Amino acid sequence: MKIYQNEKGLYGIDYYDETGKRHRHIVATNESAAKEELAKRTNSFYKAKNNPRLMQESQLFKDMAPLFIKHHIELRPSKQTYMAMFEKILGHFGNYTLKEVTPLEVQSFYNQKALETSYANADRYFGIISKFFNCLSDWDKYSGPNPCHKVKKQHDEEPFEPHPINEQEIQKLLPFISDEVRPCVTIGFYTGLRRQELLGLRWENIDFTRKTIFIPKTKTECPRTLGLTSDIERILQGLNPQKSGLVFEKITKDKLKYQLNKACEKSEIGHIRPHDMRHSFAVNFLNRGGTLEHLQRLLGHSKITTTQRYLRFKTGEIASKMMVMDGMIPLNIV
């Protein structure tokens, strides 16, 4: 750590910060002021050096990113999308120290993403930032507060509306799906798997003896097991089962989306997205007598309130429940 003078006669300081990074810049027009500034920086350096928390908080966001990528993102099932979003976060906060990522800074970033896209999308970015700080805390790399805890989240005025289709519409749609993609779409309607889970379905996770389908990697990171029904088994047996590998190896998300769009247009049932196969499964499961608790487990929802949203699509729900009151009062006395 030292003072230097440039060709213009201005005084600068040459020093290392708390993270070990070297800095060299002009700070004053006289040597006395430069010495005073260097003393401040030196004092800050030694304070941080003797205080682990200050050392942690002075780390740059971008310097902690490789750790988060290696021990969290790389282990996720949806790492491509997750990584793309984290890279945008890194582009914004990369040169911030961890301490500088304040609730106000996160709120500003959240609001900007909401304006550019939607609150739902901003929530995803928010979740990644929060997870970043939680992971660093769990790994003893950060002991400060999570800045996300004080951020105010909002909701879109018009939340996404699912578009489930009924059994008759499914039967009308399927003939217009290509022979290659039809088994995939059919199993999607039969299981309620998310698109990523459906396209990532592997032969080694299907047990034809025990009649189960194991889903190891999910959105909520909690594995779950589905039942292998006779209809699903017959479809899978027709695909020449292997010992391992992807069941739908040649089907991409773009091919699936294209086939659905084309089939919707030809069958005239209205537009649906791949995720609507999941919504359709939920509604048809309830309409066929399935319980809400079982549906929650099959869909992999962590909260029952998420599953309850499908109740409004259940036909005759209120009327059928009211029938338990029949016979309570003999009508001959009325």
Strand-pairing partners, residue 333, are none
Options 3.30.1490, 3.30.1360, 3.40.50, 3.30.160; which CATH number does 2-50 get? 3.30.160
pLDDT of 107 reads: 96
pLDDT (average), residues 28-48: 79
191 close to 232: Cβ distance less than 8 angstroms: yes
Give the CA count within 13 Å in the CB-facing half-sphere of 30.
3
CB count in 10 Å sphere of residue 186: 17
DSSP string, 223-238: -EEEE--HHHHHHHHT
Q: pLDDT tens, 168-192?
A: 999 999 999 999 999 999 999 999 9
pLDDT of 260 reads: 95
Distance of alpha carbon 167 from alpha carbon 173, whole angstroms: 10
Confidence of residue 155 (pLDDT cuts 50, 70, 90): confident
Confidence of residue 156 (pLDDT cuts 50, 70, 90): low
pLDDT of 309 reads: 82
Confidence of residue 198 (pLDDT cuts 50, 70, 90): very high
Q: pLDDT tens, 82-113?
A: 999 999 999 999 999 999 999 999 999 999 99
Distance of alpha carbon 266 from alpha carbon 286, whole angstroms: 28
pTM: 0.55
Percent pLDDT > 70 in the chain is 85
Confidence of residue 63 (pLDDT cuts 50, 70, 90): very high
pLDDT at 160 over 60: no
Q: pLDDT tens, 226-241?
A: 999 999 999 999 999 9
| Structural tokens at position 70 | 């290696």
pLDDT of 81 reads: 86
222 close to 300: Cβ distance less than 8 angstroms: yes
Q: Which CATH architecture has domain 167-319?
A: Orthogonal Bundle (1.10)
pLDDT of 334 reads: 56
Distance of alpha carbon 17 from alpha carbon 307, whole angstroms: 51
Amino acid identity for residue 89 in this structure = I
Query: What residues does each domain of the chain span?
Result: 2-50, 61-150, 167-319
Mean of the per-residue pLDDT values of the chain: 86
Q: pLDDT tens, 323-334?
A: 556 666 666 655
Report in angstroms the alpha-carbon separations of 59 from 17, 90, 276: 10, 14, 44
Distance of alpha carbon 324 from alpha carbon 307, whole angstroms: 24
Q: Which residues make Cβ contacts (< 8 Å) with residue 36, sequence separation at least 6?
A: none
Q: pLDDT tens, 201-211?
A: 999 999 999 99
pLDDT (average), residues 111-138: 92
Percent pLDDT > 90 in the chain is 56
188 close to 194: Cβ distance less than 8 angstroms: no
pLDDT of 222 reads: 77
